[in-house]
């Protein structure tokens, strides 16, 4: 039986007669650096962004959660905590052991302690990006913890650990720019191999407009294959990710209506954990990206 029907049955039993619970959902994604088409020898990115949600959920009818039953929690003290291993040596230790960087990633020690405040964007959404906070680095294998402290109330958490990046067949050559006409769609296929379970990792596509003349400005998302601003969508993805374990995507022409440059990113989604005191559907997803440049003429 698929995971979602099983979850619905368990949820109904667990929450029958309950009132309101707190759902926590987080999405932490990155776009790796790519060559800047306007300034040869320089890069666009890398860019990282964290979206955290904390909402109250009316669980009086747990098998039919509507948007009306979900209300954002504002005024939360939010922060992201991690041990950055950037800058440590990648050379093996003198005794033949692993490099300091690998040891840092594995143990969460020996790097630089980072505690970054996450801004309140209203309606239960808390955001952080690397353009405003260059100290926000996206490091594969490192554990990130988002802490959400309600005013005068409980504390909740979400833990992320970025996994391997996917590979987009159409953008293997990072120096090549794919050219499209306005309103054209784009098919993107994956070249990465299935995981140990024989299945592709769940993935999503994000398209963002970029200005090569401002290489450090955060790209503006114009299209995505996932409703990343909807905490319910993120929770359901974690419960049933089969629709995201696909080998190809089609980006709608609505993503490319204006002339200019676009950053096309495919992210593989690694599921983390939310604190045990949060609503049973809470989740944390880390999206490690592979990117390429599209120019619309």
Q: What's the whole-number mean pLDDT along residues 221-241? A: 86
- For residue 292, give every residue at least 6 positions away whose Cβ sits within 8 Å of its Cβ, in sequence order, or none: 34, 168, 170, 171, 174, 176, 178, 263, 264
CA dist list (Å): 177 to 116, 173, 191: 35, 9, 19
Give 67's pLDDT tier (boundaries 50, 70, 90).
low
pTM: 0.88
Q: Is the pLDDT reported for residue 257 higher than 90?
A: yes
| pLDDT over 90 (residue 229) | no
Does 6 have pLDDT greater than 60? no
């Amino acid at each position: 039986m698929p995971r979602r029907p099983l979850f619905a049955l368990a949820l109904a039993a667990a929450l029958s007669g309950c009132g309101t619970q707190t759902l926590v959902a987080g999405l932490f994604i990155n776009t790796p650096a790519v060559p800047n088409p306007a300034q040869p020898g320089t890069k666009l990115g890398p860019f990282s962004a964290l979206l955290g949600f904390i909402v109250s959920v009316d669980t009086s009818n747990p098998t039919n959660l509507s948007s009306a039953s979900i209300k954002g929690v504002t005024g939360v003290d939010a922060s992201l905590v991690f041990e950055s291993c950037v800058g440590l040596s990648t050379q093996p230790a003198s005794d033949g052991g692993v490099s300091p960087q690998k040891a840092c990633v594995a143990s969460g020690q020996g790097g630089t302690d980072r505690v970054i405040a996450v801004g309140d964007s209203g309606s239960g959404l808390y955001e952080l990006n690397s353009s405003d906070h260059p100290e926000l680095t996206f490091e594969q294998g490192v554990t990130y913890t988002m802490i959400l402290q309600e005013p005068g109330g409980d504390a909740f958490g979400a833990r992320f650990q970025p996994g391997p990046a996917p590979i987009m067949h159409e953008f293997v050559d990072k120096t090549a720019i794919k050219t499209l006409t306005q309103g054209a769609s784009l098919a993107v296929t994956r070249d990465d191999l299935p995981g140990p379970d024989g299945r592709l990792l769940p993935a999503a596509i994000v398209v963002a407009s970029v200005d090569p003349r401002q290489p450090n400005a955060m790209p503006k998302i114009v299209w995505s294959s996932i409703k990343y601003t909807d905490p319910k969508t993120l929770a359901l993805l974690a419960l049933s990710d089969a629709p995201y374990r696909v080998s190809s995507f089609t980006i709608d022409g609505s993503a490319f209506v204006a002339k200019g440059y676009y950053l096309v990113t495919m992210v593989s989604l690694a599921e983390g954990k939310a604190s045990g005191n949060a609503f049973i559907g809470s989740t944390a997803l880390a999206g490690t990206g592979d990117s390429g440049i599209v120019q619309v003429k």
